[in-house]
Structure 1
Amino acid sequence: MFSNSKRELKIKPVDPEVLTANIGTLLDLYGVEKGLDHYRSSQELTFDEFRYYLQHEVFSSLPKTLNLPVAREYEKKISEVCWFVCKKNLLTREKPIFSDDSVFKLFRIFCLLADLVQDADDSSHYIVVLQPSEAGIIAEQLVHCLGLRWDAADWEALGSSIGHFKWAAFLAVLEAKYCCDQQLHSEALLEAVAEIYDVFIEDIIKKGYLFKRGYLLPTMREYWCVLQPCALTYYKSSSQKEQCGRIAIDEYCSVEASVGDGKIQRFQLVTPERTFEFGTQDHKSRLQWLSALRQAAAVSGGADGYQRRARAGRRGAGARSEQEVREARARLQLEVRARLAAEAQAQELAELAQQDNKKLEELKNAQAELERLLQEETQAKRDEEIVRALQARVLAEEWERREELERLQEEQNKMLEEERLKRKQFEMLQAEKEAQYREAERRLKELEQEKQKLDAELKAAQNKISQTEHNAHALHVQLRDLNPVLRNGERARRAISFVPTTKSSSDTLIDLRALRH
């Protein structure tokens, strides 16, 4: 993927700056591609310089310690970025059979098992090659997933003739030799590639349906289970969209077979936290799951994935002599035969166990019937106790409500008495106010009468004054006519002009008499 060799891969080299920029964007690092110039020792950037820059400048931003799921997620994202940059060249072929997504998954498997070696012609260039034995493992898995027959001798002859497999040759062999059958449906190819992808990349040891006993409700429910070296994850269905739980698996876990009831073959997964009970529909599936769980517990340790460690183990095994390899293959064949014999014997034992289970089933049915009757009787007693407890509680609540009603009634009577007293006081106050109102009305009538009387007296006085003024004017005329007393009359007229009009008639007569004298 990082190679600069044009002759070996027969594709255009990937631009290091473009690839570095995309990886930096994935890690939230922007502008990291500008630092490549400082690591360039000549006009062209070598692969060693590019790899050193990625490890010490780009990937150094990641935490130093990553657990396996997080590291696997980072690896997946970086692989997707690299595939996005170079997929146009890697997908180029004459008669494609696999889909682009399947090619990407095969490419990830190829990169996992392949080796990075120097080019024999140019030591500054590197090529990615896959050993024939590793390529044979992938091809064998694919053939088995497609339901075909694997020919090991044919593959050994093909591997010896080709030698190291490059990516283009590896993909061409898979498509032209094992997937060119027109009877193979495209869905079958997708499922086969996805299955070997799960085995090599996701480290999935086994997956399938299992019965699991609930923690609160002791019933066996069926889940889709996926077993990895570090965990057993179970989902609602095989689509793996709704995860129901995850059980961590380590070297301290163990599995034990338990007695089944004839329909479900049970076994237990013992972890440091608790014990989980599972079941399968047949004895063979239980043996397979027991073997897979023991294998997962055995290989659960380590920071690298199971397939990486298996690949390292195969590399170490490849360093042995050819004789040791033959002996190992012979032992493997013997183990396979022994396993087949053991499975046949286990099948026979399973048939015998089924016959015994039928007899046990009748006894268990009778026992279950007795237990059911006992449970019904126990439940009836519990229901009776519950009813009595409910009746006692209802009576207690009824007494409390009655006391509450009595208390409320007393408070209501008290409030009514207070309201009655307040009403009586209000009526007395109202009567007093009415008496005061009647007294004020009587007094107002008296005042009105007095006012009318005074008005009449005032009117009479005003009439008297008018009469007096008229008489005074007539007298003045008479006095002015008297000659002897002209001066005195003149003096009297002046005096009269200064007399106030408000004087009574009697006072006016007295003044006139005084003037005459």
Structure 2
Amino acid sequence: MDLRAELLKSIWYAFTALDVERSGKVSKSQLKVLSHNLYTVLCIPHDPVALEEHFRDDDDGPVSSQGYMPYLNTYILDKVEEGAFVKENFDELCWTLTAKKNYKPDRNGNSIISHQDAFKLWCLFNFLSEDKYPLVMVPDEVEYLLKKICTAMNVELNSCELDDYLSQESQGQGGLTVWQFLDMVNSGRFLRGIEQEAISMAVEEVYQEVIQDVLKQGYLWKKGQLRRNWSERWFTLKPSVLSYYMSEERKEKKGSIALDKHCCVEVLPDRDGKRCMFC
């Protein structure tokens, strides 16, 4: 997906969350704060003069999404550089704004996913949803996502029951909204009898594959560059880089190896049976 289109989806949720009166417009003071936060998470140099000038108090009143787009395009999206910011931090900002208003995990009197899992499912939904507003995910993509989560848990999705559910819930809008999707998951209707920990691990696996582009990951033994002893590290393989961390929590990155078309990665056991990595 094009980066700008991907960012716009999350920003759309943030904008609509600020539209407290559901009028299609947001006050200038709120848009000023939102823009300042977007500058920060997208690592764009702030332009305080343009910010104050564009959102100064006057008689124009609240701003529509179309009215906000010229500023958003010129001062924010046109200046975004891929790889210069942490996408997850940007998504968390937009999720926090929209979830506070719209996400009701106990709406059905039950909740089988954590708040963090809901965030990751929201990101997956955005990635797979149609590039039209208001955002919906078509039935085929809903089935695709649920099947991937079920496959990660080694369980089978009841496709017939899902088809019946989608035919009722998606009528008139061509698919499910993210809040309908999260309600469906939280209801336990298609994940009956599965522990929350297992669901969480499956959601994380699919999130890393689809959103973070992780091809393979796991513990390997690595020989040190200076001290030639073997240490166990958690490795993640992406199309262009192999990174390694102290543990699977990936809080402390120890290094990375850039990969190009001339590289290959093989994992082979050594004479002691350890799994070793060679590039």
The one of 36, 50, 56 equivalent to 2:74 is 56
Q: Which residue of 1 aligns with 2:124?
A: 109
Whole-angstrom distance in 2 between the partners of 1:133 and 1:214: 47
CA RMSD of aligned residues (A): 3.6
1:225 aligns with 2:225: no
Q: Which amino acid aligns with 1:52?
A: P
Q: Which amino acid aligns with 1:54?
A: L
Q: Which residue of 2 aligns with 1:215?
A: 225
1:91–1:100: 8 Å Cα contact kept in structure 2? no
Deviation at 1:212, TM superposition (A): 2.2
For CA contacts below 8 A with separation 6 or more, give which structure has more relative contact order: 2
1:92 aligns with 2:92: no
* CA pair 12-203 structure 1, distance change in 2 beyond 3 A: farther
Deviations 1:35-74 (A, max 9, x none): 2689x9x9774433323331113334x35xx343x24x1x
Q: Which residue of 2 aligns with 1:239?
A: 249
Deviations 1:416-449 (A, max 9, x none): xxxxxxxxxxxxxxxxxxxxxxxxxxxxxxxxxx
SS in 2 for 1:2: helix
* CA pair 13-230 structure 1, distance change in 2 beyond 3 A: farther
Deviations 1:215-267 (A, max 9, x none): 34555432111222232111222222232221112222123576853724656
The one of 156, 169, 184 equivalent to 1:173 is 184
Unpaired stretches in structure 2, ≥5 consecutive residues: 1-10, 40-45
Q: Which residue of 1 aligns with 2:138?
A: 131
Whole-angstrom distance in 2 between the partners of 1:16 and 1:260: 64
Number of residue pairs aligned between Structure 1 and Structure 2: 248
2:26–2:64: 8 Å Cα contact kept in structure 1? no
SS in 1 for 2:260: coil
User: How do 1:320-331 residues align onto structure 2 when only pairs under 5 Å count?
Assistant: none
* CA pair 129-222 structure 1, distance change in 2 beyond 3 A: same
SS in 1 for 2:232: strand
Whole-angstrom distance in 2 between the partners of 1:188 and 1:221: 29
SS in 1 for 2:243: strand
* CA pair 88-251 structure 1, distance change in 2 beyond 3 A: same
Whole-angstrom distance in 2 between the partners of 1:12 and 1:143: 39
User: How do 1:492-511 residues align onto structure 2 when only pairs under 5 Å count?
Assistant: none
Q: Which residue of 1 aligns with 2:95?
A: 83
Whole-angstrom distance in 1 between the partners of 2:38 and 2:68: 18
* CA pair 169-184 structure 1, distance change in 2 beyond 3 A: same
Deviations 1:371-407 (A, max 9, x none): xxxxxxxxxxxxxxxxxxxxxxxxxxxxxxxxxxxxx
Deviation at 1:81, TM superposition (A): 2.6
Identity across the alignment (%): 22
The one of 253, 260, 273 equivalent to 1:250 is 260
SS in 2 for 1:142: helix
1:195 aligns with 2:205: yes
Deviation at 1:203, TM superposition (A): 1.8
Q: Which amino acid aligns with 2:135?
A: V
SS in 2 for 1:261: coil
Whole-angstrom distance in 2 between the partners of 1:135 and 1:128: 13
Higher strand share: 2
SS in 2 for 1:246: strand
Q: Which amino acid aligns with 2:217?
A: K
Q: Which residue of 2 aligns with 1:404?
A: none
2:149–2:202: 8 Å Cα contact kept in structure 1? yes
* CA pair 262-49 structure 1, distance change in 2 beyond 3 A: same
Whole-angstrom distance in 2 between the partners of 1:79 and 1:170: 18
Deviation at 1:128, TM superposition (A): 0.5
1:15 aligns with 2:26: yes
1:225–1:234: 8 Å Cα contact kept in structure 2? yes
Whole-angstrom distance in 2 between the partners of 1:2 and 1:265: 45
Could you tell me the TM-score, scaled by structure 2's length? 0.71
Q: Which amino acid aligns with 1:145?
A: A
SS in 2 for 1:128: coil
User: How do 1:25-424 residues align onto structure 2 when only pairs under 5 Å count?
Assistant: 25-27=37-39, 28-30=46-48, 32=51, 35=54, 45-60=63-78, 62=79, 66-68=81-83, 70-71=84-85, 73=86, 75-92=87-104, 94-95=107-108, 96-97=110-111, 98-117=113-132, 126-152=133-159, 154-156=161-163, 158-159=165-166, 162=170, 163-176=174-187, 177-179=189-191, 181=192, 183-216=193-226, 218-256=228-266, 260-261=270-271, 263-264=273-274, 268-269=278-279
Unpaired stretches in structure 1, ≥5 consecutive residues: 118-125, 270-517
2:221–2:275: 8 Å Cα contact kept in structure 1? no
Whole-angstrom distance in 2 between the partners of 1:12 and 1:175: 29
1:24 aligns with 2:13: no
Greater CA radius of gyration, 1 or 2?
1
SS in 2 for 1:195: helix
2:139–2:175: 8 Å Cα contact kept in structure 1? yes
Q: Which residue of 1 aligns with 2:43?
A: none
SS in 2 for 1:48: helix
Could you tell me the TM-score, scaled by structure 1's length? 0.41
SS in 2 for 1:245: strand
Which moved further from structure 2: 85-94 or 201-210? 85-94
* CA pair 134-261 structure 1, distance change in 2 beyond 3 A: same
